[in-house]
Amino acid sequence: MTTNATTADLQQRAQSVKLAIFDVDGVLTDGKLYFLVDGSEFKTFNTLDGHGIKMLINSGVRTAIISGRKTPVVERRAQNLGIQHLYQGREDKLVVLDELLGELGLDYAQVAYLGDDLPDLPVIRRVGLGMAVASADGFVRQHAHGVTKARGGEGAAREFCELIMRAQGTLDAAQAAYL
């Protein structure tokens, strides 16, 4: 994990996280859009990221996806992982964040967000822990609290989940459960 903030600051920010939000394209995927001849599209997701999200949910942190694009494959992935809140086709992610916080009774300091591009930046800058993936736009990386070592779709979401769990003292128990 590379940081714009200190590692201690990231850990402190992560301690109060009650809701982790993910962008999709470029974060949970490699950012490429794959279209078939019939016009349908497909995405590839990293299983390490998926299991990290499941562990985070099992540790008691709520999860959400906010994506500017809308596709059935993201709905299926969210259902498979148990992600509780899914917002697709929403360009203004800050408006969605405010709606979600009102619904859940949370404040910005209790939210972590992982993004990669300019539409994510208003949320990254507003929440308690705003992070970018290693493959994110340079301007976004510059303004995030921290940057993952992994690229989007290649374990960045897992790294983000483990950072939160480590800060909250739940990672060791989650990993030990597999021994």
Q: Is 25 annotated to bind ligand? A: yes
Q: Is 98 annotated to bind ligand? A: no
Alpha-carbon gap, residue 77 to 164, rounded angstroms: 21
Q: Is 9 annotated to bind ligand? A: no
Q: Which two tokens stand for residue 128?
A: 């308690």
Alpha-carbon gap, residue 11 to 34, rounded angstroms: 36
Binding-site positions for substrate: 25
Binding-site positions for Mg(2+): 23, 116
Binding-site positions: 23, 25, 116
